[in-house]
Amino acid sequence: MSTRLARRLERNGLGLLSPPLVLLLLVFLLPLLAMVPTSLHPYIPGKGIGEGFTAEHYVKALTDTYYLEIIGRTLALGLIVTLICLALGYPLAFFLARTQSRWRPWLMLLVVFPLLLNLVVRTFGWIALLANRGLVNDTLVALGIVETPVKLLFNFSGLLIALSHIFLPFMVLVLVGVIRNLPRDVEDAARTLGAGWATTFLRVTLPLSLPGILAGSILVFVLTVSALVTPRLLGGPTYKVMSTLIYDQFLQLLNWPAGAALSFILTAIAVGLISLSSAVARRLGAGA
């Protein structure tokens, strides 16, 4: 019997799959599930987690103006960073996908390099650039564009610039993959049918790269709203987004129930968007 069971596990692959699956069960699913009751317990300041169950943390997160402002700011950041990455990333991706240059592999590595570089280091670079006495302000003052340094740290615009830089490579890599696989003869066909380059781009190339635009945008949006390191270092302890709020709830305020509830709201946004987009992508794929 046991050898038959062993054979069956061998044949259906579950024998091989069980170590990774057990790992995910014990160190991923179970910890997440264990946070569900935490998010439903009351929190008593000074005492910690109380008895009984309550939905107050969810209600508060979705009604209290302090929380709503942070959630709104996080989503706005995600949206605008996505748009910036799209605007900067599409032309670069188009160039990298189409160029015949023998430098192409090295140019691709220039895109990959920031991705591999430690995130804390990249963020530190932006601190050096955006500080009151940083390169950006020194240049602006030197050029006479502004008289006194512009405040770029601990506010929205600083986060916007740095996060756009940090997530741009993801957008570019996704788009390069999609644009490289576009059938060139369809564009040629449009040109022979009398379409100018602008019409060809808007009516043929762009619609065909829509799946990539969608995938890249979702990726950048989710990464932005989930980001912790950059918002924390550039926003400081006071200018908060959702993940830094969760960070503070757990490590500074020790209000685990509120932090857990916020975690599930953030997760719902991220995972919800990803599942939604894969459903849309499937429909796009089926329609094509």
Of residues 190-209, which lie at the interface with another protein (CB under 8 A)? 197
Rounded (5°) CA angle 262-171-125:
75
Instruction: Give yes or no for residue 107 binding another protein (CB under 8 A).
Output: yes
Per CB under 8 A, contacts with another protein among 249-268 are 250-251, 256, 259-260, 263-264, 266-267
User: Does 119 engage in binding with another protein (CB under 8 A)?
Assistant: yes
Under the binding rule (CB under 8 A), the answer on residue 224 touching another protein is no
Regarding 135 and contact with another protein (CB under 8 A), the answer is: yes
Q: In the block, which residue shows the tokens 């059938």?
A: 183
- Least Å from the CB of residue 117 to another protein: 5
171 binds another protein (CB under 8 A): no
Q: How far apart are CA 238 and CA 154, in angstroms?
A: 8
Q: Which is nearer to another protein, 13 or 46 (CB)?
A: 13
Span interacting with another protein, options 14-22, 60-68, 140-148, 202-210, rule CB under 8 A: 14-22
Choose which of 40, 75, 83, 88 interacts with another protein (CB under 8 A): 88
- Of positions 225, 240, 258, 261, contacts another protein by CB under 8 A: 225
Q: Which of 41, 57, 73, 232 binds another protein (CB under 8 A)?
A: 232
Q: 51 phi and psi, to 5 degrees?
A: -80, 165
Q: Which residues, 6+ apart, have CB-to-CB distance to 277 below 8 Å?
A: 214, 215, 218
Which of 6, 44, 62, 128 contacts another protein by CB under 8 A? 128
Does residue 276 interact with another protein by CB under 8 A? no
**Choice between 142 and 288, CB closer to another protein:** 142
In whole angstroms, what is the distance from residue 288 CA to residue 285 CA? 5
Residue 262 burial (C-beta neighbours within 10 Å; 0-12, 13-18, 19+):
buried
The pair of structure tokens assigned to 42 is 């009351």
The least CB distance from residue 179 to another protein, in Å, is 12
| Binders of another protein in range 28-67 (CB under 8 A) | 28, 30-32, 34-35, 38
Strands 48-49 and 43-44, how do they pair? antiparallel
Cβ-in-10-Å burial (0-12, 13-18, 19+) of 219 comes to buried
SS3 call for 236 = coil
